[in-house]
Structure 1
């Protein structure tokens, strides 16, 4: 059973991660997690100290749990650039502060870094409103470039084909061809995948996030820095880590909202997709990296999560996830591992790490921090 501890500063509660039921548990890992959550309250998504919070918790757990693999996610700069009206100088200072924090963590931890920028940011030019279509259009909160379309009319397809801000209308069978999908995986896909042009974001009846000033890009190539060697595709990052864990303690560090033009370390460009498809910085990109293979069917753009939920949703603290993805690097390696990040929901779902700490925030609303204990026996 995976345990989840929610820390809201004034109180802590423990739950069964799968069912959401309150539980009581004791043990060294539980006490370790309770202590680190109490010691480091989450300052907020856009707070200047948010990235330092990530480093401080990771350093604390390194000192007490002694992991060999660390997964970090720094996201404060992404939220600030996305929702604040920054000029170019302010954006550069924000990115510079981020890299200074990464350097501080690497220096104090002694871990060998593998730093990945998840893709750059671009100004929002306009929304593509899909709410008036006959069919059902779905765009997830973290997707701007892609939307899924279910049950479209012929009029819908003509309208979309002629839309000046839509780059592609892709049939389901093309996604199945490109990623060798199975019949079961086909059931999770929309009938059509819509692809926006750069600077445009889809708006659907399910779009409830606050309006951004900047949006992320789905870059063909994303930057990677590490002394461990070069890889030319994000699917090769996992094997690079596994091949070097015997001789190095490794930190896989993700930087939200950072592309090749913003990356302040020596870099190698890394392919971020296949043929015409590029991964947005969401669950699919994370899982592609942590599993070493393209993962576009777990939670695809346009996924109707409610269609697979019968009765009470399992994993109620895990956002739209209805199960924990398998074959992640933290699950596979025999070494101890931790994951810490200020991009909520993802640390405990996509990494497979033994111990995970993340902000517990939704739509910039700070509800505290979440600690998850996936295993206590290592």
Structure 2
């Protein structure tokens, strides 16, 4: 059983991660994690101290748990850049600060760093309104490039195919072919997948998030800092983790909202795509990195569209884990025999996509700070 501990500004609850029900649980790892949460309240997604919170929380866990593999996500600059208008100079300082923070972590911890930027940002030019179709268009809150389309009429298809800000409409069959999908995975797909041109985002009936000022660019390639390695695609990052961990402690660092144009450490372009598809910052991108294979069809809601199933009831598993209905298989840390931790200021990611023994993340929704959450997947390595 995976155990979740939610800390709402000092008020802690221990829960079964799968059911969300309160449980009575004790032990040295649970005490360790509770103490760490109490010492490190989360300042907020766009707070200047948010990225520092990631490092400081990781230091605390390293001192008490002694992991050999650490997965960190620094995301404050992604949230700030997405929702806060700022000058080029202000953004440059913000990007510089996150690299200084990552450098502080490496210098103090002594871990070797492999760092990947999740992609550049570009100003939002406008919305593609698909709320008045005869069919149903859906997309996730954090995707701007992709939207799924169900039951379109001939008139819908004509309008969409002629829309100046829609780059491409891809059939379900083409998506299945590209990712070698199984029959079960095909059931999760919409009839069509729509692709927005750079700078544009889809507006659907399912979108209730804040309006962004910047969105992900066309990130067919992302920057990778991996000293001593040449990696062609993000599917190759897992292999170099395995190689380096045979000799030293390693930190895999994801720097959100930073691409080839702004990445400040030595780096090489790394393919973040296959044919017409590229990964936006999200679950599918992270899972592809940590599993070494494309995961677009495993978790399609995180890849830009929702599996629409009106028969699904209200009861569900993993109520604190977003749209996940199970713990993803094949994440690197879940198969690594040594100790591992994950810390990040991006909700739901650290405990569901890294596979780490212990994870700590912000517990925030739509930028509203509700505290912190830790998940214990393995309590037998202390």
Instruction: Indicate the residue corresponding to 2:366 in structure 1.
Output: 363
**Is the alpha carbon distance of 1:244 and 1:143 closer, same or farther for their aligned partners in structure 2, counting shifts above 3 Å?**
same
Q: Distance in 2 between matches of 1:80 and 1:302?
A: 24
Instruction: Indicate the residue corresponding to 1:374 in structure 2.
Output: 377
Deviation at 1:243, TM superposition (A): 1.7
1:289-325 Cα deviation digits (max 9, x unpaired): 0110000112213222655844511000001111111
Aligned partner of residue 318 in structure 2, secondary structure? coil
**Is the alpha carbon distance of 1:306 and 1:42 closer, same or farther for their aligned partners in structure 2, counting shifts above 3 Å?**
farther
Q: Distance in 1 between matches of 2:110 and 2:120?
A: 28
Instruction: Indicate the residue corresponding to 1:259 in structure 2.
Output: 259
- What is the correspondence of 1:27-66 to structure 2 with a 5 Å cutoff? 27-66=27-66
Deviation at 1:248, TM superposition (A): 1.3
Q: Distance in 2 between matches of 1:178 and 1:83?
A: 33
Deviation at 1:245, TM superposition (A): 0.7
Deviation at 1:151, TM superposition (A): 1.2
Q: Distance in 2 between matches of 1:199 and 1:76?
A: 21
1:55-90 Cα deviation digits (max 9, x unpaired): 001111111101111000000011111111101000
Instruction: Indicate the residue corresponding to 1:154 in structure 2.
Output: 154
Q: Distance in 2 between matches of 1:291 and 1:242?
A: 11
Structure 1 length normalisation: TM-score?
0.98
Instruction: Indicate the residue corresponding to 1:324 in structure 2.
Output: 327
- What is the correspondence of 1:142-291 to structure 2 with a 5 Å cutoff? 142-291=142-291
Deviation at 1:128, TM superposition (A): 0.5
**Is the alpha carbon distance of 1:307 and 1:356 closer, same or farther for their aligned partners in structure 2, counting shifts above 3 Å?**
farther
Q: Distance in 1 between matches of 2:44 and 2:11?
A: 17
CA contact (8 A) 1:51 1:342 kept: yes
Structure 2 length normalisation: TM-score?
0.97
Instruction: Indicate the residue corresponding to 1:303 in structure 2.
Output: 306
Deviation at 1:217, TM superposition (A): 2.2
Deviation at 1:332, TM superposition (A): 1.1
Instruction: Indicate the residue corresponding to 1:13 in structure 2.
Output: 13
Aligned partner of residue 128 in structure 2, secondary structure? strand
How many residue pairs get aligned? The number is 378
**Is the alpha carbon distance of 1:11 and 1:113 closer, same or farther for their aligned partners in structure 2, counting shifts above 3 Å?**
same
Q: Distance in 2 between matches of 1:305 and 1:262?
A: 37
Deviates more, 1:6-15 or 1:98-107: 6-15
Aligned partner of residue 377 in structure 1, secondary structure? coil
CA contact (8 A) 2:10 2:38 kept: no
Deviates more, 1:222-231 or 1:47-56: 222-231
Deviation at 1:275, TM superposition (A): 1.2
**Is the alpha carbon distance of 1:308 and 1:315 closer, same or farther for their aligned partners in structure 2, counting shifts above 3 Å?**
farther
- What is the correspondence of 1:73-84 to structure 2 with a 5 Å cutoff? 73-84=73-84
Deviating 4+ runs (over 3 angstroms) = 305-311
